[in-house]
A and B are shown apart, each in its own frame.
Chain A
Amino acid sequence: MLPKLPLDKWVDRMVDSIEENLNFLFDPISAAIEGVVDFFSYLLHLPPAIVLIVLFAALAWWIMRWPMALFTFVGLFLIDNLGYWDHTMDTLALVLTSAIVSIVLGVPIGIACARNNRTQSIVTPILDFMQTMPAFVYLIPAVTFFNLGVVPGVIASVIFAVPPTIRLTNLGIRQVPADLVEAADSFGSTPSQKLFKVQLPLAVPSIMAGINQTLMLALSMVVIASLIGAQGIGADVYRAVSQIKTGKGFEAGLAIVILAIFLDRLTQHLVKGKKHADRRG
């Protein structure tokens, strides 16, 4: 019989060598991510809960009209009432950071894929791999490189959440009608003028759909991230599970659901809402 392939050893060795040789990279990355999380966390904890609740409800009203504003107000108020406000804001800081890192990485990679078929054919299978590999597995190298805490949580969330942004940026640019691209070329646009004046603006709805998906996936990672010490509502869920407290688990889970609905509707309507405002103005 064939001997077992030492695949595990190979991966371990690769991870070890990455840790040895790229160590100088991890500290600044870690510091940057931690800085962003702390910044959001600081902002979200600064005003009293009721002020933020009203602000978020106002944002919902401005972008989506009153039913969603009402839901936001009642939902967030419920979270506060149940005593999960601080943890929910920790989670929001984690999710926002993951989303921002995903956008910063994902949009340029998506653009690169759209401009070059070979890049696309290399990136696509990697994305498939990233999305199908069980998310827990990313925790191991994330901890190896970044220790415990919120930073490996963000890293694992980004790996899991970035593919939709890349895919939909790529798709959005590729779906710009050929005659518009031709028109841009026919007036002597440089490739970057064409990208920024025609292709990207027209790809915005698709890119926003990708960002929306990314946010949702990042949110779905918060419980998993809590396994490696990321604070927030995910940790509450995890604790409830390990102690078999159904009621607590439901409360914490509900808080995540409310946050998810709020973020989902907000990002879905961002493009449409803004367009309306422009037209009216």
Chain B
Amino acid sequence: MSIIEVTDVTKIFGEDPKRILPLLKEGWSKDRIFKETRHTVGVNRVQFAVEPGEIFVIMGLSGSGKSTLVRLLNRLIEPTGGAIRIAGQDITRLNAEQLRKVRQKKISMVFQKFALFPHRTLLENVEYGLEVQKVPKKEREPKAREALRLVGLEERADSYPEQLSGGMQQRVGLARALANDPEILLMDEAFSALDPLIRKDMQDELLELQEKMKKTIVFITHDLDEALRIGDRIALMKDGAIVQIGTPEEIMVNPANEYVERFVEDVDLSKVLTASHVMRRPETIGLDRGARVALQLMRESGISNLFVTDRSRKLIGVLTADDASEAVKRGQPLEEIVIRDTPVVAPEMLLHELFDICGTSKYPVAVVNEAGRIVGVIVRGAVLGALAGHVANREVSVDAAETTA
């Protein structure tokens, strides 16, 4: 079951927002509503569901309504219409006391500008969520220290926020949100105020933490690279509405409309596409065959290298045409001329990580799955083609290679 289920959620700012709801249903545009009624549509009939343990990224430019949307999820902003179910419970119907309970136990938030309390030490900041639940100091302090340890700041527990750099402050923000062990983390542009290198570190750290914690994370960002890096799924917002929801790959490869397409056209494809997108079908030969057969195969397919595998298609090494013709003259078996320290990569490896390997290797790069079986080969031309926007021939997928094996 989905842990967050958002149905038809709308937020309209203005004097009499309820009056505007029917107009939206009639299909009035945001602009027309503003011009004729002086009401602003913040979030327009949004619908999505988030699965437990998922990192769900909501991305859009400023003014797209993403920050409003995330505040609707814990009702820091009251929705005008629609239902928001957190673990099955519609929080739009809760009274103030019940809502406080949900905020205390189930949902924590991390803020763009950290929002640490400047008059409290790091430890006291992290304790805050437990403190308002009236957890006694003796119980909450170890929990807060543990949360600080998770983000690597346990030694600074008695420092004040102003004594820390931005990146460290946001770690405290994260620790504060984790201390009361919520099921859901809302992260509102959590890394946007950090400089790019720190931002990347924090993204990595978040992913690492997520491996251990398996929280459900709703992450707001305006940075598509960030969305692609950390999102399991991405919802793209424009003018308060969701334009497309999908995995990073789906959004890149099949943009739902022109808006998404324009959005993604500047994206660094090398950080989205993986080896499995650009690899070609590998030409292989069994180790038990002779050099003459190998030469014949190369001649037929017009290539100068062959991958050598065992009977179960596990990669052993690579064979060059020169070595093969030498071996034919001397009558050597393949065993003796196969080059075993050939570079291999996993199918999930991102393109930009491939550049270095492809650039320095004398031999084609083999794509090898977890079982050690060869599933593809990376050819330089295909990498360049993919960067130019031509995603390689999809018939060679990981699965296809398995079945032909």
| CB-defined contacts of A188 to chain B, threshold 8 Å | 99-105, 129, 132-133
B119 A186 Cβ-Cβ under 8 A: no
- Nearest residue (CB) in B for A194 is B132
Chain A residue with Cβ nearest B113: A179
- With A188-B100, A188-B102, A190-B100 in contact, is A183–B133 under 8 Å at CB? no
Hey, what's the 0/1 contact readout for B100-131 against A, CB within 8 Å counting as 1? Answer: 11111101110111011111000000001101
Instruction: Considering the complex, give the chain A residue whose CB is closest to the CB of B125.
Output: A183
List CB contacts (< 8 Å) of A147-196 with chain B. Answer: 177, 179-180, 182-190, 193
Q: Convert A111-136 into 0s and 1s, putting 1 for each residue whose CB lies closer than 8 angstroms to a CB of B.
A: 00000000000000000000000000
Partner of A186, one of B76, B105, B113, B118: B76
Q: What residues of A have a CB within 8 angstroms of the CB of B129 in the complex?
A: 187-188
- Report which residue of B112, B116, B117, B180 has the largest number of chain A beta carbons within 10 angstroms of its beta carbon: B117
Task: For A64, list chain B residues within 8 Å (CB).
Answer: none
B residues contacting the other copy or chain, number (CB 8 A): 29
Chain B residues with CB under 8 A of A182: 76, 109, 111, 115
Chain A residues bordering chain B, tally (CB within 8 A): 18
B92 interface contact, C-beta 8 A: no
| Contact present for B118 and A187 (CB under 8 Å) | no
**Would you call the interface of chain A mostly helix, strand, loop, or mixed?**
helix
Choose among A183, A187, A201 the residue that contacts B119 (Cβ–Cβ < 8 A): A201
Most buried by A among B102, B128, B180: B128
> Are A197 and B131 neighbours in the complex by a CB distance under 8 Å?
yes
Instruction: Tell me if A202 is interfacial: C-beta within 8 Å of chain B.
Output: yes
* Contact, CB under 8 Å: B100 / A186: no
Q: Is the CB of B128 within 8 A of A197?
A: yes
Contact (Cβ within 8 A) B115 A198: no
Name the distance in Å between B57's Cβ and chain A's nearest Cβ: 19
Assess whether B115 is in contact with A179, with CB atoms less than 8 Å apart: yes
In angstroms, Cα B24 to Cα A119, docked, is 36
CA distance A182 to B103 in the complex (A): 12
- With A188-B101, A188-B103, A188-B104 as known contacts, state yes or no: A183 contacts B111, CB within 8 Å: yes
A6 to B63, CA, bound (A): 59
Q: Measured between alpha carbons, how far is A190 from B108 in the docked complex, in Å?
A: 16
Q: A187-B108, A188-B100, A188-B101 are contacts. A180–B132 as well, Cβ < 8 Å?
A: no
Interchain CA distance A201-B125 in the complex, whole Å: 14
The answer, yes or no, to whether B274 is at the interface (CB within 8 Å) is no
Q: Is B74 an interface residue (CB 8 A)?
A: yes
Please list 7 pairs of residues, one from A and one from B, whose beta carbons are closer than 8 Å in the complex, sorted by A's number: A187-B104, A187-B176, A188-B101, A188-B133, A190-B132, A201-B119, A279-B160
CB-based closest 7 A-B pairs: A188-B103, A188-B104, A183-B115, A188-B100, A179-B115, A186-B109, A187-B129
